[in-house]
């Protein structure tokens, strides 16, 4: 029995010896032949030792490409390091090629390969051309392959590049050492092996890069994938922000409380929220400047003693505007534009009927009104500008795509820029022009409307009635509450006077005629051109 145990141990050692000693291949017995030893290390590196016999007075050169074509417009990148040559020869390693030049005799070439291990379907595969790229015929090539685990299967092809002819021999020994052999390889032909190992035997280290072609420039790589992911995330964030801005613009919120008069007793004065002018009310509320807004501005100029309004009997449209005080620095650019349309320099009065032909001047007024709400930052021209910026970004992205496709690759980065520009140009058309300050003012103007409706003329102190009636009248007109506002004061026993309007020969007009004047004024401006939406 002990003899049997000793015999078994001896056989075990002898069977394991080839696998352990495979790092040093046998020396070739024939000229123009090679003995090759391959070993997969634990980290996935492939150690290669080649013993090559070169006839005396001859040379043999092998060229190994380090970038080879792979499916889906990619290149497989091989790394070679730790090159050592024992014998008559030398090597050259560049970015794209590994070259070995051997002279007569037997030489041993040692090197390490990175990128020979792939993993798919839970299996590890090791592939390498044990012979290929030689400029001379090889009479015999023999190779051994060792790995931390016994292979599941092996494949070996020999012959011209791309051929599927099998090698002369490829088998797995009981010890786990795999052996290959092939006779008569013509110059330029290859012997290529593929060994399948159990999953997890060694880590995969295959390295794939986009091929240096136009199609390869558009391959989806990890950096490009991260860029697309970032773009998608930014798109989601932008969509949510746009939705919130549009919702805020469509539903600004409830009215904010506003006091029409500020101050005490005889110091009380009318104050508009944020200094908004009557002519700006319609634009802030709806984005549209129409005839009512222009009429409210004219009434406001009269209330502030820049104009006198008189009714001339006998005229079909008997309302005349008379210069009372010259425009000064108290007027904004928009108000000055309105004043210049009504009474250009050198003119002292104008009939409303004469204003119906002033369409060019009215357009300038509308432009000035648009500019005034933008200047106060209630509205923004950003949406219109973003459309142009988006189109320019698309153009830059197209240029970048072509540039990357013809140079370093990653051309999809240019496509991302194009997509970003297109999204910006389209989304800008949905971006509200009204700003956060404009939304807040919108709510305060609703508060002004509520205050107008809630104000009881009889409850207003007598000394304040005349000021409040006239100063709030342009805002009541712009908010559509003029009729009720005037009627509330007209119902008083002693209604306040209208100090800025009167018939010829009378200092002040009857309060009941105010509505007739404003109706005529609105109709005059409506005849020039329909209101338009603010163009950002």
Tell me the per-residue pLDDT of 263-281, one tens digit each, with 9 for 90 and over.
Answer: 665 566 788 888 899 999 9
451 in Cβ contact with 258 (< 8 Å): yes
What does the alpha-carbon distance between residue 90 and residue 182 come to, in Å, rounded to a whole number? 26
Residue 229, pLDDT > 90, answer yes
Instruction: Give the CATH number for residue 41.
Output: 2.60.40
Does a structural domain hold residue 9? Answer: no
Host H or E run for residue 368: helix 359-375
Same domain, 376 and 418: no
The H-or-E segment that residue 514 falls in is helix 514-528
Are 286 and 406 found together in one domain? no
**What is the extent of the structural domain holding 427?**
213-251+393-432
Q: What is the pLDDT of residue 427?
A: 93
Which of 51-55, 84-88, 165-169, 354-358 bottoms out in mean pLDDT, i.e. has the lowest? 354-358
Q: Are residues 292 and 348 in the same domain?
A: yes
Considering only CA atoms, give the Rg of the chain.
Answer: 46
Note whether 370 and 303 are same-domain residues.
Answer: yes
pLDDT at 529: 57
**Beta-carbon count within 10 A of 399 CB:** 13
Report the distance separating Cα 338 and Cα 94, nearest Å.
78
Does residue 303 sit in the same domain as residue 362? Answer: yes
- Amino acid 533: pLDDT: 43
Task: Kindly state whether residue 4 falls inside one of the protein's structural domains.
Answer: no
What is the distance between the alpha carbons of residues 341 and 258, in angstroms, rounded to a whole number? 33
Mark which of 432, 459, 493 sits at the end of a domain.
432
Same domain (yes/no): 48, 117: yes
Residue 5 lies inside a defined structural domain of this protein:
no
CA atoms within 13 Å, Cβ hemisphere of 2: 0
- pLDDT for 404 equals 92
Structure token digits, residue 390: 């988006």
How do residues 116-156 score in pLDDT, each as one tens digit?
A: 999 988 899 999 999 999 999 999 999 999 999 999 999 99
pLDDT digits (tens, 9 = 90+) for 436-476: 999 999 999 999 999 999 999 888 888 888 889 999 999 99
| Residue 40 maps to a domain | yes
Give the model's pLDDT for residue 412. Answer: 93
**How far is Cα 272 from Cα 363, in angstroms, rounded to an integer?**
26
Judgement on whether residues 193 and 218 belong to the same structural domain of the protein: no
Mean pLDDT of the 482-501 span: 88
- Given 372, 404, 432, the domain boundary residue is 432
Is 13 among the domain residues? no
411, 349: one domain: no
pTM of the model: 0.71
Check residue 415 and give its pLDDT: 95
- Tell which of 179, 210, 241 closes a domain: 210
431 — pLDDT class (breaks 50, 70, 90): very high
- pLDDT tens digits, one per residue of 145-186: 999 999 999 999 999 988 999 999 998 887 778 999 999 999
Same domain, 421 and 445: no
In a domain, 12, yes or no: no
| pLDDT reading at 505 higher than 80 | no
Distance CA 95, CA 27 (A): 31
- The count of other CB atoms within 10 Å of the CB of residue 330 is 10
Task: Name the residue among 355, 194, 197, 365 with its Cα closest to residue 279.
Answer: 365
Question: How many angstroms separate the CA atoms of 345 and 368, rounded?
Answer: 18
Q: Has residue 14 been placed in a domain?
A: no
Residue 1: CB atoms within 10 A of its CB come to: 4
**Taking 60 as the threshold, does the pLDDT of residue 520 lie above it?**
yes
Mean pLDDT of all residues belonging to the chain: 87
Decide if 3 is inside a domain.
no
Segment 389-398 shows an average pLDDT of: 96
Provide the pLDDT for residue 373.
Answer: 93
> Is there a single domain that holds both residue 81 and residue 169?
yes
Task: Quote the CA–CA distance of 36 and 24 in Å, as a whole number.
Answer: 9
pLDDT one-digit tens code per residue, 98-109: 999 999 999 999
Of 269, 350, 260, give the one whose Cα is nearest residue 310. 350
Number of compact structural domains in the chain: 3
Q: How confident is the model at residue 511 (pLDDT cuts 50, 70, 90)?
A: confident
Query: By mean pLDDT, which of 266-275, 371-380, 396-405 is the weakest?
Result: 266-275
Give the mean pLDDT of 232-255: 94
Based on the fold, state whether residues 106 and 66 are members of the same structural domain.
yes
Helix, coil or strand: residue 108: strand
- Whether 139 and 193 map to the same domain: the answer is yes
Instruction: Quick: pLDDT tens for 306-365.
Output: 999 988 776 555 789 999 999 999 999 999 999 998 998 888 999 888 876 666 577 788
């Amino acid at each position: 029995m002990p003899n049997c145990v000793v015999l078994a141990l001896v056989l075990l050692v002898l069977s394991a010896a080839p696998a352990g000693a495979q790092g040093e291949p046998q020396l070739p017995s024939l000229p123009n032949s090679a003995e090759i030893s391959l070993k997969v290390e634990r980290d996935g590196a492939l150690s290669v030792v080649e013993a090559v016999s070169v006839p005396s007075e001859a040379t043999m050169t092998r060229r190994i490409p380090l970038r080879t074509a792979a499916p889906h417009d990619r290149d497989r990148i091989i790394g070679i390091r730790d090159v050592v040559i024992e014998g008559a020869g030398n090597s050259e390693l560049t970015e794209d090629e590994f070259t070995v030049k051997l002279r007569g005799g037997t030489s041993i070439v040692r090197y390490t390969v990175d990128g020979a291990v792939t993993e798919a379907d839970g299996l590890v595969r090791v592939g390498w051309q044990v012979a290929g790229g030689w400029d001379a015929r090889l009479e015999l090539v023999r190779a051994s392959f060792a790995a931390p685990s016994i292979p599941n299967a092996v494949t070996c092809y020999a012959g011209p590049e791309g051929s599927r002819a099998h090698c002369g021999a490829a088998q797995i020994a009981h010890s786990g050492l795999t052996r290959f052999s092939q006779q008569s390889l013509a110059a330029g032909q290859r012997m290529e092996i593929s060994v399948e190992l159990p999953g997890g035997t060694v880590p995969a280290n295959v390295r794939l890069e986009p091929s240096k072609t136009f199609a390869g420039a558009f391959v989806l790589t990890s950096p490009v994938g991260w860029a697309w992911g970032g773009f998608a995330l930014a798109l989601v964030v932008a969509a949510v922000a746009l939705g919130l801005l549009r919702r805020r613009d469509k539903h600004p919120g409830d009215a904010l409380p506003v006091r029409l008069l500020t101050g005490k007793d005889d110091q009380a004065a009318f104050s508009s929220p944020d200094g908004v002018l009557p002519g700006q009310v319609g634009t802030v509320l709806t984005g549209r400047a129409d005839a009512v807004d222009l009429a409210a501005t004219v009434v406001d100029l009269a209330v502030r003693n820049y104009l006198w309004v008189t009714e001339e009997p006998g005229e079909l449209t008997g309302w005349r505007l008379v210069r009372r005080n010259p425009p000064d620095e108290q007027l904004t650019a928009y108000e000055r534009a309105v004043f210049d349309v009504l009474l250009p320099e050198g003119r002292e009065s104008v009939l409303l009927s004469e204003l119906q032909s002033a369409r060019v001047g009215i357009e300038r007024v509308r432009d000035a009104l648009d500019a005034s709400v933008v200047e106060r930052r209630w509205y923004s021209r950003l949406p219109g500008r973003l459309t142009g910026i988006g189109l320019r970004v698309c153009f830059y992205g197209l240029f970048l795509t072509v540039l990357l496709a013809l140079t370093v690759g990653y051309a999809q980065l240019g496509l991302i820029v194009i997509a970003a520009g297109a999204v910006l140009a389209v989304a800008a058309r949905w971006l509200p022009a009204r700003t956060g300050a404009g939304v807040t003012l919108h709510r305060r103007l609703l508060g002004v409307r509520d205050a107008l409706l809630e104000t009881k003329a009889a409850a207003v102190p007598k000394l304040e009635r005349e000021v409040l009636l006239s100063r709030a009248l342009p805002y009541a007109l712009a908010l559509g509450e003029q009729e009720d506002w005037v009627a509330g004061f007209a119902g008083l026993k002693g209604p306040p006077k209208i100090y800025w309007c009167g018939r010829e020969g009378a200092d002040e007009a009857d309060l009941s005629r105010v509505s007739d004047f404003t109706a005529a004024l609105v109709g005059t401006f409506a005849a020039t051109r329909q209101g338009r939406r603010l163009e950002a």
